[in-house]
Amino acid sequence: MAKQAKGKGKKSGVKKVGPLPVHPRRLVSTKNTSLPISVFDNVMKQVDEACVQLKLDPNLQEFLKMPRRSSIAYLPVQMDDGSHRMFPAYRVQHSIARGPAKGGIRYHPGVTLDEVQALASWMTFKSAVVNIPFGGGKGGIQCDPTKLSRGELERLTRRYVADLMNVFGPELDVPAPDVGTGPQVMAWFMDTYSMREGHPSPAVVTGKPTSMGGSLGRTEATGRGVMISTREAAKHLGLDLATATASVQGFGNVGSISARLLHELGVKFTHVSDVTGAVYNPDGIDIDGLSEYVTRTGSVLGYQGTTQIKPEEVLTAKVDILIPAALESVITDKNARRIKCKIIAEGANGPTTPGADKILNKKGIMVIPDILCNAGGVTVSYFEWVQNRIGYFWSEDEVNRRLEEKMVAAFGDVLAMSLEHEVSMRIAAFMVAIERLIEVVQLRGIYG
């Protein structure tokens, strides 16, 4: 395959450009990106299934998938050594039907337009499932942020905002951090946008430092949402969390915080892994102690009272709750049969493949899908935007109380849809999101 492509390129010198892509699946294929191949195809399979359940008009189905607008820019940046480099950069608004596009900006060498389009569509469904007035967006710059100096990162970020100034705005498109970006990049983003507008405009971006308009509770929000949805699932299944056991893959922001909050409800974590390996303690791991240990050493390995196990065992452990909170496509048709838990709480985006989903459904395992389970983050991003617009800031308790309300309502809506149509929680979540989206699309109509 690679050989053939090479030969072709040599012969013609110029890549042939075919007709414009008409099918969104091809348009947003995730090949050669920082995502594993087919994550977007996986999402679209689920969208298709939900549309069939909803008996949706095929015209609307196509409308649902295509991004509203994709912008490309090539950013010239002066490097520290005086040379100039061009960085490809993207911003995609998948949908603004329910409100401004919302979604992170990724700095990664594998970023492509296709990937950004895929991730933007995911955000549309996630925002709709928790019923916040946002659409879906995503952005990215093809770069390796670990190899750029602070000055280079700042100039790259400011140039990105300046070049794509017209597509952003508190009412139009509100970015946030993603892989390779964080509060500092958001601060530069806000400053550049504000300078060009001529006044402070904090609501143009979320995930800012709290000293300049970021929301309290944002760092914990995704893990807190995972805890809330897991607690609701346990309630539905009659599982007592005070005696429940759990395992977590990934011990970063989402994994460690959801583990800590569930641990506070009595859940005993016996298996934990991160990129360095996996550990086990049948009597339960002290999650606070492990968090401090990981901060100090950078690894879960060697934590007191634990023994090292194979990373795969974290997924197949005999526990009540499994939280994949690291990577995409880790639960597949190869290992799904060996999974023994009662609840899978998808902290990560896309950890389960459609093949695995079928097996898990047959086994009667309740999968809380990513677009519901990890939506606490985008929900508190919405709260940040609201606080910026009203110019009044809530206490952390207030943020957590409102997050609790949103997550419990969303979980209830998805569960009710799942029971009514006898479909998995994942398909039900897409159905809830698509119904909300389509209602607005039909009310607004198509202009022109």
Annotated catalytic residues are 138
Q: Which is nearer to ligand NAD, 121 or 273 (CB)?
A: 273
Q: Does 254 bind ligand NAD (CB under 6 A)?
A: yes
SS3 137: strand
Q: Does 131 bind ligand NAD (CB under 6 A)?
A: no
Q: Which is nearer to ligand NAD, 192 or 350 (CB)?
A: 350
For the bound state, the minimum distance from the C-beta of residue 411 to ligand NAD, rounded and expressed in Å, comes to 16
HSE-up of residue 383 (Cα within 13 Å, Cβ side): 29
| Secondary structure (H, E, C), 279-346 | EECCCCCCHHHHHHHHHHHCCCCCCCCCEEECCCHHHHCCCCEEEECCCCCCECCCCHHHCCCCEEEC
Selected range binding ligand NAD among 153-161, 228-236, 243-251, 412-420, rule: CB under 6 A:
243-251
Longest Cα–Cα distance of the chain, Å, equals: 67
Q: How far is CA 17 from CA 5, 20, 21, in A?
A: 14, 8, 10
Options 46, 157, 222, 270; binder of ligand NAD; rule CB under 6 A: 222
For the bound state, the minimum distance from the C-beta of residue 382 to ligand NAD, rounded and expressed in Å, comes to 13
d(C-alpha 432, C-alpha 424), whole Å: 12
Q: Which is nearer to ligand NAD, 301 or 440 (CB)?
A: 301
For the bound state, the minimum distance from the C-beta of residue 205 to ligand NAD, rounded and expressed in Å, comes to 15
Comparing C-alpha atoms, which of 171, 172, 17 is closest to residue 91? 172
Q: How far is CA 206 from CA 39, 95, 364, 384, in A?
A: 26, 18, 38, 6
For the bound state, the minimum distance from the C-beta of residue 42 to ligand NAD, rounded and expressed in Å, comes to 14
Q: Which is nearer to ligand NAD, 34 or 53 (CB)?
A: 34
Q: Which tokens is 32 given?
A: 């050669």
Q: Which is nearer to ligand NAD, 67 or 347 (CB)?
A: 347
Residues 6+ apart with CB under 8 A from 56: 64, 434, 438
Residues 6+ apart with CB under 8 A from 222: 253, 254, 257, 258, 347, 374, 376, 377
Selected range binding ligand NAD among 11-19, 26-34, 250-258, 334-342, rule: CB under 6 A:
250-258
For the bound state, the minimum distance from the C-beta of residue 181 to ligand NAD, rounded and expressed in Å, comes to 12
For the bound state, the minimum distance from the C-beta of residue 110 to ligand NAD, rounded and expressed in Å, comes to 14
Residue 376: Cβ-neighbour burial (10 angstroms; 0-12, 13-18, 19+): buried
Kindly report the backbone phi and psi dihedral angles of residue 112, in degrees, each rounded to the nearest multiple of 5, phi listed first: -135, 165
x/- binding map, residues 377-406, to ligand NAD, per CB under 6 A? x-----------------------------
SS3 content of the chain, % helix, strand, coil (to 5): 50, 15, 35
Of 317-346, which residues contact ligand NAD (CB under 6 A)?
Answer: 325-327
Q: Which residue's C-beta sits nearest to ligand NAD?
A: 252
How many chain residues interact with ligand NAD (CB under 6 A)? 20
Q: Does 251 bind ligand NAD (CB under 6 A)?
A: yes
Of 263-292, which residues contact ligand NAD (CB under 6 A)?
Answer: 273-275
x/- binding map, residues 340-379, to ligand NAD, per CB under 6 A? -------xxx------------------------x--x--
Q: Which tokens is 132 given?
A: 């916040």
For the bound state, the minimum distance from the C-beta of residue 104 to ligand NAD, rounded and expressed in Å, comes to 9
Q: Which is nearer to ligand NAD, 41 or 313 (CB)?
A: 313
Q: Does 249 bind ligand NAD (CB under 6 A)?
A: yes
Q: Does 115 bind ligand NAD (CB under 6 A)?
A: no
Using DSSP bridges, classify how beta strands 136-142 and 84-95 pair: parallel, antiparallel or unpaired. Answer: antiparallel
Could you please report the per-residue DSSP string of 64-110? HHS-SEEEEEEEEEE-TTS-EEEEEEEEEEEE-SSSSEEEEEEEETT
Q: Does 303 bind ligand NAD (CB under 6 A)?
A: no
For the bound state, the minimum distance from the C-beta of residue 313 to ligand NAD, rounded and expressed in Å, comes to 12
Contacts with ligand NAD by CB under 6 A lie at 222, 249-255, 273-275, 311, 325-327, 347-349, 374, 377
